[in-house]
């Protein structure tokens, strides 16, 4: 308990008392990450939720992450600390959009990014994360793929899997969409020896400059292993803060002014404390939606 503040100590006590597993996404505040049992990207979070044996799973992240945990562990109590922490990108696509795209492109299979609602997952063929999207697209048994909702991740995957035809929905992550090519070029000019690690949710004009294009976990791994002494990070600001703390001997730089996902920042220590204390907010999903969404998520987790 050394090094923790009073609220953090109370959270750790409640966690043990209630046999709760706390999973935190890398974008929530570092002080919340510090009291979690595991800090994960979306893929590891889904895997850990699927294998959890605890009575309660607390997802420190946005709504679709809580839904995914519930889909994969339907018998468990899944809690979200902040009810209004949604993902604007996930909200950009509806099941009706998916059905319309299916009508327009019969024969194509629907691949949905994990950043989507349970209702969208329920009408998709397979789900993917940024770390598994390329592999799943290559292995999917079809010649055409409808990719929802992220047009940036979709066009990155399409560029790497030219043997298939892609139909992209036009959603995007407002946080990563904010990264501008001019800021990347300015950062590269300011740090000529630096390498650039970027998330594929950024636009094509930004991603093309990446020495590494990868998921959050892949960016962290790259920063730890690269021999470069300076690394420019093209993803959410908490990753820059985490790497600065973890790798003080390296120069870690963000792109332009630090960009943050406001929704992830709603998961505060106070919210996590109240979540554990009052066992709120429970994620509930209609039975039919849960079953249908599980098919596409299971394929992702087990592929």
Return residues touching ligand SF4 (CB under 6 A): 27, 62, 87-89, 115, 173-175, 236, 261, 263-264
Q: Report how far Cα 235 is from the mean position of its chain's Cα atoms.
A: 11
* Smallest separation, CB 92 to ligand SF4 (Å): 10
Structure tokens at 163: 């043997």
Residue placing its CB nearer to ligand SF4 in the complex, 194 or 219: 219
Strand segments (E) across 199-263: 212-213, 230-234, 251-253
Asked if 242 and 27 count as a contact pair (C-beta separation under 8 A), the reply is: no
Q: Least distance in Å: CB of 151 to ligand SF4?
A: 13
Burial class (CB in 10 A: 0-12, 13-18, 19+), 245: exposed
Task: Give the nearest distance from C-beta 41 to ligand SF4 in angstroms.
Answer: 10
Nearer to ligand SF4, 102 or 203 (CB): 203
Query: Which ranges in 52-171 belong to alpha helices (H)?
Result: 63-72, 95-104, 118-122, 133-139, 151-160
CA 269 to CA 256: how far, in whole Å?
A: 28
Pairing of strands 230-234, 195-198: parallel
* Least gap, CB of 113 to ligand SF4 (angstroms): 9
Is 85 or 98 the residue whose CB approaches ligand SF4 more closely?
85
By C-beta, is 125 or 236 nearer to ligand SF4? Answer: 236
Residue closer to ligand SF4, measured from CB, 194 or 259: 259
Q: State the minimum distance, in angstroms, from the CB of residue 232 to ligand SF4.
A: 18
N-term to C-term CA, the chain: 38
Q: What is the DSSP string of 257-302?
A: S----TTGGG--HHHHHHHHHHT-PBP---HHHHHHHHHHHHHHHH
Q: Residue 70 is encoded by which pair of tokens? A: 């519930």
Nearer to ligand SF4, 66 or 210 (CB): 66
Q: How far is the CB of 215 from ligand SF4 (least distance, A)?
A: 11
Q: How far is the CB of 125 from ligand SF4 (least distance, A)?
A: 21
| Smaller CB separation from ligand SF4, 101 or 173 | 173
């Amino acid at each position: 308990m050394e090094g923790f503040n009073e609220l953090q100590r109370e959270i750790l006590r409640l966690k043990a008392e209630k046999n709760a597993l706390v999973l935190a996404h890398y974008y929530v505040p570092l002080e919340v990450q510090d009291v979690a049992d595991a800090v994960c990207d979306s893929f590891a979070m889904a895997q850990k939720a699927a294998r959890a044996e605890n009575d309660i799973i607390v997802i420190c992240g946005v709504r679709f992450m809580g839904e995914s945990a519930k889909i994969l562990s339907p018998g468990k109590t899944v809690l979200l600390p902040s009810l209004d922490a949604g993902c604007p990108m996930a909200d950009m696509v509806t099941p009706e959009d998916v059905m319309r795209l299916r009508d327009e492109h019969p024969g194509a299979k629907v691949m949905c990014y994990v950043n989507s609602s349970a209702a969208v997952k329920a009408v998709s063929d397979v789900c993917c994360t940024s770390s598994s999207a390329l592999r799943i697209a290559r292995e999917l048994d079809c010649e055409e793929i409808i990719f929802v909702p992220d047009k940036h991740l979709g066009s990155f995957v399409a560029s790497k899997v030219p043997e298939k035809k892609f139909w992209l929905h036009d959603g995007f992550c407002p946080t990563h969409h904010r990264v501008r090519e001019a800021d990347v070029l300015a950062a590269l000019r300011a740090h000529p020896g630096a390498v650039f690690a970027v998330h594929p949710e950024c636009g094509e004009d930004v991603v093309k400059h990446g020495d590494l294009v990868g998921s959050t976990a892949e960016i962290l791994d790259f920063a730890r292993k690269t021999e470069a002494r300076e690394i420019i990070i093209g993803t959410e600001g908490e990753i820059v803060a985490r790497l600065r703390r973890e790798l003080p001997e390296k120069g870690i730089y963000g792109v332009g002014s630090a960009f943050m996902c406001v929704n992830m920042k709603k998961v505060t220590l106070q919210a996590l404390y109240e979540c554990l204390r009052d066992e709120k907010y429970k994620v509930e999903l209609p039975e039919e939606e849960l079953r249908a969404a599980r098919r596409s998520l299971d394929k992702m987790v087990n592929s």
